[in-house]
Amino acid sequence: MALSLRKKQLDLITRMLHLNQQQSSPAGGGEGEEEAYKILVVDGPCISLLSTVLRVGDLRKHGVTLHLNIHKARQQVADAPAVYLVRPTPANADRIAADAAAGLYASFHVNFSTSVPRPVLERLASATAASRSAHRVARVADQYLDFVCLEDNLFSLAQPRAYVSLNDPAAADADITSVVDAIALGLFCVAATLGAVPIIRCAAGGPAEMVAAALDARLRDHLLAKPNLFTEAASSSFQRPVLCLFDRNFELSVGIQHDWRYRPLVHDVLSLKLNKLKLPTEKYDLDDSDPFWVANSWSEYPEVPKEIAAQLAKYKQDVDEVNQRTGGGRDGVEFDGTDLIGNTKHLMNAVNSLPELTERKKVIDKHTNIATALLAQIKERSLSDYCDCEHDMLRKGIVDRKTLFSLLSGEGTKEDKLRLAVTYLLSFEAPPPSELEQVEAALRESEVDMSAFLYVKRIKSLNTQFSAAPSTASRNSIVNWAVSAVTDGVKNYLSDERQVALTRRVEALMEGKPNPEVDNYLLFDPRAPRSGTGGQFRGPFREAIVFMIGGGNYGEYRSLIEPGQSSQPSKHVIYGATEILSGVDFIQQLAELGEKAGLGSGSSNLPSQ
């Protein structure tokens, strides 16, 4: 399990692309290996899932000639097998049945990205039986791949607006249950891909407990059937990972904070989606294949241009060297007739190094453009001041009133001001009311939509009224629990430690020593017998999967991964969330909740999504 999640997902996808047959070993034994060229048919969500791990060149390598959208009109390719990777919805099942009836492809290998529910399977079966084309369907399989793996240790379930759905005061019970089930299914896919049954820990109350219970039930049901997905892995992995479930309300401030590092800035300001960046003039890919990105994405922004300049200088140096060696500076080097072989050797080396040099130049150009675009935005919105102010408020607990008010009435988009105000609200347990009024007045002056601010304020004020700890997992107590969780989170910042509260909890859970912060966390072990109380394994764990319900963040990701990498022996942490939110998106969700709770200021300043 030291393998990254992404590699495991890629392995499974590759095996699926090879029609789920035994992967023949590359060394020897290629007799009779016939590569069929297949067509890949996917739907929208599955394309996002594939696009972060595979490129078109990789598809071609695995023998896929065309990749098509299931809902587009497709034509017949009579002699090729087709591999379908779709979500198990009735619409997709109907479409597959229609394709089979029309005989579009020679054989159909249908893979569903998660477990297909029985009704959908029967629907597909009856449709194909009715059109007498069921013989064309060669295989139907559940793949358990329904998560988007953005990096080696970062995944997202691509379930947008989960925070809103869970915290909506007007949400029906059925809605909440369906959201919780979807999250549990996604987590089950992650566990199945890793091949390990985790031990689940979560705080009591709130969505985390509901998700934990649902996941536990699902795992238990699955483990009853033998052989199941986890049987082979059980013997190999001695260590089981711990799955820590958290809710966004635990620490709201991380979700809206302005972060000054390169990668979170790009995500926030330039809206990085699925490792894809779209500037007005260009489109870029930012992932592990980009060496500059891998090396510099976590450094603070001012260092990035310096690094770019250094790389550019080195590149120019290398180019000059190549030119010199191949007689570019011919006045200095005399063309020695006897040194023919030496010259051609140099020429060949130069030619071989040309692609590498062009690659480096492209990377440098790309990051220059990105950094320039960022700089323009940063200057316009004076983001550095925002970052400093928020950092002071959160970490040191001091507020510089002058900067605060100058920022609130100065430059920056409306969302920036709102985020600053909410951070102010969250960093002090009881801000002086006069100051609070001044902040609110400043916000109103700048015509900022107050819904989010009022919503957070209300949650904070509700805490003073509700003192009892929430016990049941009903809709009302989510709000109660959210309230207590928010103020808990606030308390965390008053401590001196640099670490984010989440990291502290995760470390405590992984170490397994008694710790007042995490002792009252619930524990679910799907492998343990339900009735018995024996063997509640509390750690220490070497591997952890941290899941944030309601939206995660690159800053949080970094703060979790960093200590794990530096500690001895290295601990492996995988981070995931229902979606990876930028501060802008999250504040919009808060504003939406505020509107639903009827706290809106009535002005239609809410930016549409």
Partner 1 sequence: MHPSRSAPASFRDRTNEFRAAVESARRHAAPSPAAASASGGGGGPLDDSLSAASAQSEFKNRASRIGLGIHQTSQKLARLAKLAKRTSVFDDPTLEIQELTAVVKKDIGALNNAVMDLQVLCNSQNESGNLSKDTTNHSTTVVDNLKNRLMSATKEFKEVLTMRTENMKVHENRRQMFSSSAAKDASNPFMRQRPLVAREASDSAPPAPWATDSATTPLFQRKKTNGDHGASSSSTPAFMQQQQLAVQQDSYMNSRAEALQNVESTIHELSNIFTQLATMVSQQGELAIRIDENMEDTVANVEGAQGQLLKYLNSISSNRWLMMKIFFVLMVFLMIFIFFVA
- Residue number with CB closer to partner 1 (98 or 462): 98
Dihedral through CA 414, CA 419, CA 421, CA 427, nearest 10? -170
Ramachandran angles phi, psi of 82, nearest 5°? -115, 135
- Residue number with CB closer to partner 1 (344 or 461): 344
Judge whether 246 and 202 are in contact, CB under 8 Å: yes
Cis preceding-peptide flag for 45 (omega within 30 of 0): no
CA distances from 70 to 128, 132, 148, 285, 466 (A): 17, 21, 19, 25, 51
Whole-number minimum distance, CB 360 to partner 1, in Å? 15
Strands 137-142 and 105-112: parallel
Partnered with residue 154 across adjacent β-strands are 151, 575
Whole-number minimum distance, CB 122 to partner 1, in Å? 5
Whole-number minimum distance, CB 225 to partner 1, in Å? 9
Partnered with residue 66 across adjacent β-strands are 39
CA angle 104, 107, 113 (to 5 degrees): 95
CA distances from 577 to 161, 344, 545 (A): 12, 55, 10
Whole-number minimum distance, CB 147 to partner 1, in Å? 13
3-state secondary structure of 240: coil
- Residue number with CB closer to partner 1 (340 or 441): 340
Residue 33 identity (one-letter amino acid): E
DSSP H or E run through 277: strand 276-278
- Residue number with CB closer to partner 1 (111 or 553): 111
Alpha-carbon distance of 343 to 348, in angstroms, equals 9
- Residue number with CB closer to partner 1 (133 or 423): 133
Whole-number minimum distance, CB 570 to partner 1, in Å? 24
Residues 6+ apart with CB under 8 A from 293: 263, 286, 287, 367
Whole-number minimum distance, CB 5 to partner 1, in Å? 12
What's the full length of the chain, in residues?
A: 609
Whole-number minimum distance, CB 348 to partner 1, in Å? 6
- Residue number with CB closer to partner 1 (227 or 332): 227
Judge whether 594 and 565 are in contact, CB under 8 Å: no
Whole-number minimum distance, CB 139 to partner 1, in Å? 5
Alpha-carbon distance of 5 to 288, in angstroms, equals 14
- Residue number with CB closer to partner 1 (44 or 607): 44
Helices (H), 466-577: 475-493, 501-511, 554-566
- Residue number with CB closer to partner 1 (271 or 472): 271
Whole-number minimum distance, CB 593 to partner 1, in Å? 29
Alpha-carbon distance of 34 to 32, in angstroms, equals 6
- Residue number with CB closer to partner 1 (52 or 463): 52
- The count of other CB atoms within 10 Å of the CB of residue 452 is 29
- Residue number with CB closer to partner 1 (59 or 223): 59
Whole-number minimum distance, CB 143 to partner 1, in Å? 5
